[in-house]
């Protein structure tokens, strides 16, 4: 049986190291690039519409794996309570994401995300990005680290459950909801080549007599424009509807975009990209061409 007097250990995934990854890259079409610089906003979309169809399900399977490893160490009622809260947290909170990479010149990403190599990889200052009202962190691909996160979560919350009111433990529920949100930072190691960094924001899922609703509650960050509540919008994609918010970064300053990499099939020579950036108040960006020999 686990010791409820054990010291509290906050479960943690890897955090973004700004010194090792001062720039994070968003692969996109030229149309998306122009939208970003003209409207000074980043689009965060429903996690369930990402290219990995196992999003969140993969992380939940690692949670179950951690439970199975520890099944003899804790009360059965505790695991039942924990599973119920984790499941409810996923039902009532939806992560909206935008995806980046620490590598701005990967052929598979040019082909998949940047208009088959005709687009660009927009390099943002990672420290400034983290100041927005979002969660900014690298994706964890290692299943052992993922399971370890849930083992730590189970160990940390057990004493809280043991001494608390199981029927109304709102403090524990809030703690778990915050921790469960980081499940959006876990992916199948088959995607590790992407070296992905995600910016994520939680929106509330609500159901009432009028049907289903999504609501952005705002967030905390040094950039006030991104911290405000923003309307949930929808767009059509491959026969479905995708929920998203357009998160402004107007307070991020003129140096937010540090670099733009031209795709290997780009028709631009860099001058036009530089002009577009300067015309929209974004200064001093380095422009370079992909080294991929792809046509």
Q: What integer pLDDT is reported at residue 231 of this predicted model?
A: 95
Question: What values do phi and psi take at 259, rounded to 5?
Answer: -160, 150
Write out pLDDT tens, residues 89-101. 888 889 999 999 9
Write out pLDDT tens, residues 241-268. 999 999 999 889 999 999 999 999 999 8
Q: Which residue has the higher pLDDT, 285 or 180?
A: 285
CA-based angle 265:115:17, to the nearest 5?
A: 95
Query: What does the alpha-carbon distance between residue 115 and residue 122 come to, in Å, rounded to a whole number?
Result: 14
Write out pLDDT tens, residues 30-47. 999 999 999 999 999 999
Q: What's the mean pLDDT when you consider all of the chain?
A: 90
What predicted TM-score, i.e. pTM, was given to this entire model?
0.91
Query: What does the alpha-carbon distance between residue 274 and residue 257 come to, in Å, rounded to a whole number?
Result: 11
Q: Is the dihedral of CA 27, 33, 35, 37 positive or negative?
A: positive
Domain definitions of the chain by residue range: 23-289
Q: What integer pLDDT is reported at residue 84 of this predicted model?
A: 87
Q: What integer pLDDT is reported at residue 6 of this predicted model?
A: 52
Q: Is the dihedral of CA 289, 101, 23, 143 positive or negative?
A: negative
Q: Are 94 and 214 in contact (CB under 8 A)?
A: yes
Q: What integer pLDDT is reported at residue 169 of this predicted model?
A: 63
Query: What does the alpha-carbon distance between residue 111 and residue 92 come to, in Å, rounded to a whole number?
Result: 35
Write out pLDDT tens, residues 11-20. 788 999 999 9
Write out pLDDT tens, residues 213-248. 999 999 888 778 899 999 999 999 888 899 999 999
Q: Name the β-bridge partners of 27.
A: 121
């Amino acid at each position: 049986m686990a010791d409820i007097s054990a010291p509290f250990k906050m479960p943690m995934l890897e955090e973004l190291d700004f010194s090792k990854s001062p720039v994070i890259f968003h692969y996109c079409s030229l149309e998306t690039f122009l939208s970003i610089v003209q409207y000074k906003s980043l689009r965060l979309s429903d996690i369930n519409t990402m290219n990995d169809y196992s999003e969140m399900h993969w992380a939940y399977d690692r949670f179950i794996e951690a439970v199975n490893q520890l099944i003899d160490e804790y009360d059965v009622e505790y695991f039942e309570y924990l599973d119920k809260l984790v499941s409810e947290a996923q039902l009532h909170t939806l992560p909206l994401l935008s995806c980046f990479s620490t590598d701005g010149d990967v052929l598979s990403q040019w082909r998949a995300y940047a208009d088959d190599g005709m687009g660009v990889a927009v390099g943002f200052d990672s420290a400034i990005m983290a100041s927005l009202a979002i969660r900014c962190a690298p994706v964890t691909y290692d299943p052992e680290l993922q399971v370890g996160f849930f083992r730590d979560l189970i160990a940390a919350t057990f004493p809280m459950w043991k001494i608390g009111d199981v029927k109304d433990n709102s403090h524990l529920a809030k703690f778990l909801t915050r921790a469960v949100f980081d499940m959006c930072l876990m992916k199948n190691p088959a995607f590790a080549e992407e070296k992905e960094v995600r910016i994520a924001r939680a929106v509330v899922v609500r159901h009432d007599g009028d049907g289903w609703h999504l609501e952005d509650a705002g967030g905390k960050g040094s950039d006030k424009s991104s911290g405000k509540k923003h309307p949930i919008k929808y767009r059509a994609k491959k026969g479905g509807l995708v929920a998203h918010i357009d998160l402004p970064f107007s307070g991020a300053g003129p140096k937010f975009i540090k670099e733009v990499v031209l795709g290997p099939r780009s028709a631009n020579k860099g001058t036009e990209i530089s002009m577009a950036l300067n015309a929209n108040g974004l200064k001093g960006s380095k422009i370079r061409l992909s080294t991929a020999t792809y046509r």
